[in-house]
Structure 1
Amino acid sequence: MKKKVLAGIMTTAMIMAMMTGCGSSDTAKDTQASTGSETSADSSAADTAEDNYTIGISQFAEHGSLDNCREGFLEGLKSAGIEEGVNLTVEYQNSQADTGTASTIADNFVSKNVDLICAIATPSAMSAYNSCLDSEIPVVYTAVSDPVGAGLADEEGNSVGNITGTSDKLPVEEQLKMIRDLMPDAKKIGILYTTSEANSVSTIKEYKELAENYDFEIVDSGINTVADVEMAAKDLASKVDCISNLTDNTVVSALQTVIAAADEKNIPVFGSEIEQVKIGCLASMGIDYIALGKQTGEMAAKILKGESKAEEMPYEVCSGASLYVNTAVADKLNFELDQATVDGAAEVFDEITVE
């Protein structure tokens, strides 16, 4: 808000002088004498600027986990006293899984000089960071699995610029252990991912590093666009015992296509978070994206209030993973879920909910 406060106390002549580079102390004094420096109106404008905020939310794709991030983000701001419709104006844009559109959205927010950009998912975060390099607008991201790999943080987790946020790093080892417990005879896990998504590339690497500890082989298949999903999913499903889905935005956007391919081979798809289990994945050791978004909103509130600077805040990771299962999916696949697994789940769904 520093820029707005300064604008509130500067007179018109002073601003014009600064823009033209020819302002002098005499000009400023004359202008103050004619307009009345430090008037009550100026003070009121400054107070208003301090108490009201405009932010841009750039969401990369339209699916449940990212929607939950956005909902949680606004909840986090509200809990800190920054509420939409009260002292907060929100401009929301969705790039529909198109990186070019994500860049355009970020550039637009910069041109409007918003107080902060919230970027949801890795491609949107990278676009916002690049767009804001020559501005003072802070960026707060969420649902970025690997901020270091995406170039948004250094190896120690510190910011590389006026940017910070939260990571939805997948609990890969917990996921592998869950799959082994549910499928004791399985050998091959298939993973579909977008080659241009840095978070997916790094997660695939971790899967492969840990898989041998659970006697699994990872069979991965890379795609470029949503149009590639159907063929790649059918091919992958014919080669593996199950599919483990990431938070890959392009693949998640076409998750029903992946599930349909797996259904043809009567193999389960394991999700990476709760929303994927609701819509047709058998189970997941996943994180709560509303909680992740709320954590992000609380970070953003500190920046907006001037309590912290994005460049001084290391990114944060949502800790812990919970088990979610869908008994309706199990019934569809004739997959036996033992009662102990069902009883130990954080949440159990008995229907498949596809909007």
Structure 2
Amino acid sequence: MKKKAMALTVAAMMAAAMITGCGQTAATTVETAADTTVQTQESTADTESTAADTAAADGESYTIGISQFAEHGSLDNCRTGFLEGLKEAGIEEGVNLTVLFDNAQADTATASMISDNYVSQKVDLICAIATPSAMSAYNSCLDSDIPVIYTAVSDPVSAGLAKEDKTPEGNITGTADTLPVEAQLKMIREVLPDATKIGILYTTSEANSLSTIETYKELADDYGFEIVESGINTLADVDMAAADLAAKVDCISNLTDNTVVQGLQTVLAKASAAGIPVFGSEVEQVKNGCLAAEGIDYVALGKQTGAMAAKVLKGEAEAPDMPYEVCEGANLYINTEVARDLGITFPENYEADAAEVFETVTVE
């Protein structure tokens, strides 16, 4: 289509030159214009092909499936970081990568159907975001040679995905978002010096939540806290459980529990009615109304996962030979609007030390 348009343009210019009687000068002008047009088109074509040629220099293209268990900020950030990590390794969506993406909407049966579908389509790799999706993908791929790379799995060992030494249980590996529980407890003690009871709401079927609560219990005494837990089965349970829990404790510390995070606004409303704060576990929860958090950077976690996946896709490593990795360190996030509303004053160094300070509550 572009070549035909160019030919029509040149013909029109030549006709105009003959009508005006400009002779050789007009012809030269026409030739110059035609040459310029051709060169411009060739240059554009060269530019468009350079990225594809560079990215696919090894002659490979890939199709992957991304199975995300629920829709919330931290998991969305993981997916964003994962694709960025692949891109940095030369594997880019739309160039040499086709991405199939599905969200299970916090339903384990749906997560299983998603991973089964990816296996039937014979994708090159499955990226599973969050523990239930990782477990589903692992089970779906048992009779295939499709590798699974997971992320946002708090405890791969408890989930049956890895051994105590971090080596994989099969053709699966990835990254763990193990929460910095001790840093969180230390922060809560500094912000609420008189608090004695911390409430934790969790989903009884989420292995990562059960594991994290045990860590809270092990460390709570060191900071003078008692952990009061409340288990739920579905999102519909959050309303009543949060109201009951908020009446018993001095604050609530939220996990990365997928079902509870989906009901975060309900938890915040019940806590606000009781006049107590909710501490988050990552940046998005603080942006959405939690008072503060010592949490990990989920975009960085995703990038780390993408780098691992790239090695597997390129044949530089095999998933069973790669121990799972942990995102090290914790960042402080605070919300000053929430603090004002609750009449809480942060320690004087908090605003200066925080990785990010939110002055308003933003719910997306």
- TM-score over 0.5 (shorter chain): yes
Name the amino acid aligned to 1:302. Answer: K
Is 1:121 the counterpart of 2:137? The answer is no
Retained in 1: the 8 A contact 2:203–2:233? Answer: yes
**RMSD of the alignment, in Å?**
1.1
Residue 110 of structure 1 is aligned with which of 112, 115, 119?
A: 119
Shift of the alpha carbon at 1:49? 9.5
Residue 238 of structure 2 is aligned with which of 229, 234, 256?
A: 229
Compare CA radii of gyration and give the structure with the larger one. Answer: 2
Look up the match of 2:49. Answer: none
Look up the match of 2:271. Answer: 262
Structure-to-structure mapping, 1:81-96, within 5 angstroms:
81-96=90-105
Look up the match of 1:187. Answer: 196
Look up the match of 1:68. Answer: 77
The change in CA–CA distance for 1:50 and 1:131 in structure 2 (over 3 A counts) is: farther
Residue 165 of structure 1 is aligned with which of 174, 177, 182?
A: 174
Shift of the alpha carbon at 1:338? 3.1
1:54 aligns to what SS in structure 2? strand
Retained in 1: the 8 A contact 2:190–2:347? Answer: no
Determine the C-alpha separation between the residues in 2 that align with 1:331 and 1:177.
21
Name the amino acid aligned to 1:228. Answer: D
Residue 299 of structure 1 is aligned with which of 298, 304, 308?
A: 308
Determine the C-alpha separation between the residues in 1 that align with 2:69 and 2:58.
29
Look up the match of 1:354. Answer: 363
2:349 aligns to what SS in structure 1? helix
Look up the match of 2:285. Answer: 276
1:298 aligns to what SS in structure 2? helix
Name the amino acid aligned to 1:116. Answer: L
Is 1:245 the counterpart of 2:254? The answer is yes
1:353 aligns to what SS in structure 2? coil
Determine the C-alpha separation between the residues in 1 that align with 2:116 and 2:58.
23
Determine the C-alpha separation between the residues in 1 that align with 2:316 and 2:58.
16
Shift of the alpha carbon at 1:350? 0.3
Look up the match of 1:15. Answer: none
Name the amino acid aligned to 2:84. Answer: E
- Which aligned segments of 4 or more residues in structure 1 are displaced greater than 3 angstroms? 47-50
Determine the C-alpha separation between the residues in 2 that align with 1:48 and 1:161.
31
1:190 aligns to what SS in structure 2? strand
State the TM-score, normalized to the length of structure 1.
0.86
Shift of the alpha carbon at 1:50? 4.8
Name the amino acid aligned to 1:118. Answer: C
Shift of the alpha carbon at 1:178? 0.3
Determine the C-alpha separation between the residues in 1 that align with 2:91 and 2:297.
22
Shift of the alpha carbon at 1:339? 2.7
Question: Gaps (5+ residues) in structure 2?
Answer: 1-55
Retained in 1: the 8 A contact 2:339–2:346? Answer: yes
Shift of the alpha carbon at 1:48? 9.5
Residue 310 of structure 1 is aligned with which of 319, 329, 353?
A: 319
Determine the C-alpha separation between the residues in 1 that align with 2:65 and 2:350.
42
Determine the C-alpha separation between the residues in 2 that align with 1:85 and 1:349.
35
The aligned length equals 309
> What do residues 22-76 of structure 1 show as CA deviations (whole Å, max 9, x unaligned)?
xxxxxxxxxxxxxxxxxxxxxxxxx999510000000000000000000000000
Determine the C-alpha separation between the residues in 2 that align with 1:49 and 1:133.
29
